[in-house]
Chain A
Amino acid sequence: MLTATLNTWAATYDQWAQSFTRSQERMFAWWRIVLDPKPPVVAATPADVVYQENKLRLLCYRSKTLSNRPVPLLMVASIINKYYVLDLKPGRSLVEYLLGRGFDVWIIDWGTPTDEDRLDTFDKYINGYLARCVQKVLDVTGQAQLSLLGYCIGGTFTAIYTALHNDQVRNLIQLAAPINFHDDGMLSAWASKEAFPVDQVVDVFGNMPRWLMQTSFQWLRPTNEIAQAVNLWERLDDPRKADDFLTLRYWLNDNIDFPGEAYRKYIKDCYQDNLLVQNRMKIDGETVDLSRITANLFTITAAQDHICPPRSAAVLNDLVRARTSGFWSLRAAISASSPAVAHRRGCGSSWGTGWHNDPDKRSG
């Protein structure tokens, strides 16, 4: 009896001692981060700038692997975040993953808008910037069609673009891309006509300021900052995990302003009137009819996405007339602002399944 009690106490003491040692290591790691903060290494994969217009850059990443993949892949990043989430850091990069599998990858870096860019319209982003980048990729590669991957608002852009220029797009990959804006998400409620005077905001600020967007994202889940601090604490005894976490945090806080006129139309047509999902949105006078999309479609969402709830993105699969379509919902607690693309087992592994090579594959 006594021996058993002593053994229990000894085991408990050992466990507490280990826990104390781990906490001590975490505390030292914490102080190293606080006293000697180093900017993370991001966007490390070498790229050529193939085209430039205003602040926009079209980047080309050439695969060194021998491949037989003629259809070029153009990634369209979100307009409110930096593009480098698609190439976050070595070992956590969708671009690196795809290059290793023989894809040549193209990315649109929207750049950082300045005050005069408030006059850039939503239509100009679709039929101007995006259209010229698509044409450039097709010209350089000599192909008639390409694959488009849209992330977050970039995904809304790619869906609209494909509906308008279906003949240029062979495959459409949507990653956390909102289509139905009247969902059960918080942003949908906050952007309503009663709660958000978008005209006044744009008239006063010009561009939608990054600090205002960042504040609203933080209030989507007010406890998130504390939860993030606890998450960091748990990772501090593993330098690699801690670095992954800090790099993603760095990107999350590296927001950019949303050009004013484009923002006005985005909020009014998408969030307030929800025209896109009803096939009533107009770009340069032409109606965006999502049923015109016949490109192969693959939609990826995240179950706990606060910015783009899964239903908001998944609806696209029901609206298009795609040759083949797929749907994949990640269960991880990631969101449009904390994306799957940076996760080692995130959307990169969907390429591993060979979805894009198999015309008969259909799911969801």
Chain B
Amino acid sequence: MLEDPTQLWKQAFDIWEKQTADYWDKVLRSPQFLEQMGKSLEQSLAVKTQIDKAVTLALSSLQLPNKRDQEQILHKLTELSTQVRQLSERVDRLVAGQG
């Protein structure tokens, strides 16, 4: 009896998938690829760094806060909120202990 064509196709696909994945595994681990990946990542990040610096410079010349300033303020507020909650809970526990 002839085999089900979908099963044949699946077997062929599985073989192709494994061989292709194994090939890519070797390529993506190779020192050449890792070196190139590092370099291209550094170059792309260097471009973004320059753009960010230009935006920051423009904002500070207009006496406006930049993104990093806003992040720091928000972070401080979050930390303060946590500290207030912890103090409040401590006071509640002390009051409960006295009562």
Residues of B with C-beta under 8 A to A194: 34-35, 38
Does A71 belong to the interface (CB within 8 Å)?
no
**A118 contacts B by Cβ under 8 Å:** yes
1/0 per residue, CB under 8 A from A, across B67-88: the answer is: 1001111110010011001100
Across chains A and B, the number of contacting residue pairs, with CB separation under 8 Å, is 91
- Least Cβ–Cβ distance between A307 and chain B, in angstroms: 14
A192 at the interface (CB under 8 A from B): yes
Chain A: number of interface residues, binned into ranges:
35 or more
Are A222's CB and B24's CB within 8 A?
Answer: yes
A230 contact set on B, CB distance < 8 A: 10, 13
Contact of B21 (CB < 8 Å), options: A23, A116, A203, A222: A222
Question: Which of A22, A186, A197 contacts B25, CB < 8 Å?
Answer: A186
Q: Please, which residues of chain A bring their CB within 8 A of the CB of B78?
A: 54, 116
Chain A positions 103 through 117: 1 when the CB is less than 8 Å from some CB of chain B, otherwise 0: 000000000000111
- Tell me whether B17 and A227 are in contact (CB under 8 A): yes
Say how far B85's CB is from chain A's closest CB, in angstroms.
7
Q: Is the CB of A201 within 8 A of B72?
A: no
**A54 adjacent to B67 (CB under 8 Å):** no
Of all chain B residues, which has the CB nearest A129? B82
- Chain B nearest CB: distance from A357 CB in Å? 33
Please encode chain A, from 189 to 218, with 1 for each CB lying within 8 Å of some chain B CB and 0 for all others. 110101111001101101000000000000
CB neighbours of B72 from chain A (8 A): 116, 119
User: Nearest residue in A to B36 (C-beta to C-beta)?
Assistant: A195
In the complex, are the beta carbons of B48 and A204 less than 8 A apart? yes
Nearest residue, chain B, Cβ from A200: B45
Interface size class of B (residues with CB under 8 A): 35 or more
Task: Give the distance in Å from the alpha carbon of A11 to the alpha carbon of B4 in the complex.
Answer: 11
When C-beta atoms are compared, the residue in chain B nearest to A212 turns out to be: B41
Contact (Cβ within 8 A) B75 A196: no
Give B29-54 interface residues, CB cut-off 8 Å to A.
Answer: 29, 34-35, 37-38, 41-42, 45-46, 48-49, 52
Q: What separation, in Å, do the CA atoms of A120 and B42 have in the docked complex?
A: 24
Chain B binding site: helix, strand, loop or mixed by DSSP?
helix
Cβ B35 vs Cβ A19 within 8 A: no
Asked if B63 lies at the interface with its beta carbon under 8 angstroms from chain A, I say no
Q: A11-B1, A12-B1, A19-B6 are in contact. Are A206 and B71 (CB under 8 A)?
A: yes
Q: Once the chains bind, are A195 and B25 in contact (CB under 8 Å)?
A: no
B58 within 8 A of partner (CB): no
By a CB distance below 8 angstroms, the chain B residues around A250 are none
Q: Does A221 contact B (CB under 8 A)?
A: yes
B95 CB–A CB distance under 8 Å: no
Q: Interface readout for B1-32 with A: 1 if CB under 8 Å, 0 if not?
A: 11011100010010001001100110011000
Say which residue of B4, B45, B81 sits within 8 Å of A197 (CB atoms).
B45
Q: Are B34 and A116 in contact (CB under 8 A)?
A: no
Q: How far is the CA of A194 from the CA of B21 in the complex (A)?
A: 24
Whether A226 lies near B17 (C-beta < 8 A) is yes
Residue of chain B at shortest CB distance from A51: B85
Residues of B within 8 A of A119 (CB): 71-72, 75
A223 at interface (Cβ–Cβ under 8 A)?
A: yes
Q: Which residues of A contact B (CB under 8 A)?
A: 8, 11-12, 15-16, 19, 22-23, 53-54, 115-120, 132, 186, 189-190, 192, 194-197, 200-201, 203-204, 206, 219, 221-224, 226-227, 230, 234
21 sample A-B contacts, Cβ–Cβ < 8 Å, listed by A number = A8-B1, A12-B2, A16-B5, A19-B5, A22-B6, A53-B82, A53-B85, A115-B67, A116-B72, A194-B35, A195-B35, A196-B38, A200-B46, A201-B45, A204-B48, A204-B49, A221-B21, A221-B25, A222-B24, A223-B24, A224-B21
List residues of chain B with CB under 8 Å of any chain A CB.
1-2, 4-6, 10, 13, 17, 20-21, 24-25, 28-29, 34-35, 37-38, 41-42, 45-46, 48-49, 52, 67, 70-75, 78, 81-82, 85-86
Q: A54-B82, A190-B28, A200-B41 are in contact. List 7 more A-B contacts (CB 8 A).
A: A53-B85, A54-B81, A190-B37, A195-B38, A201-B45, A204-B45, A224-B21
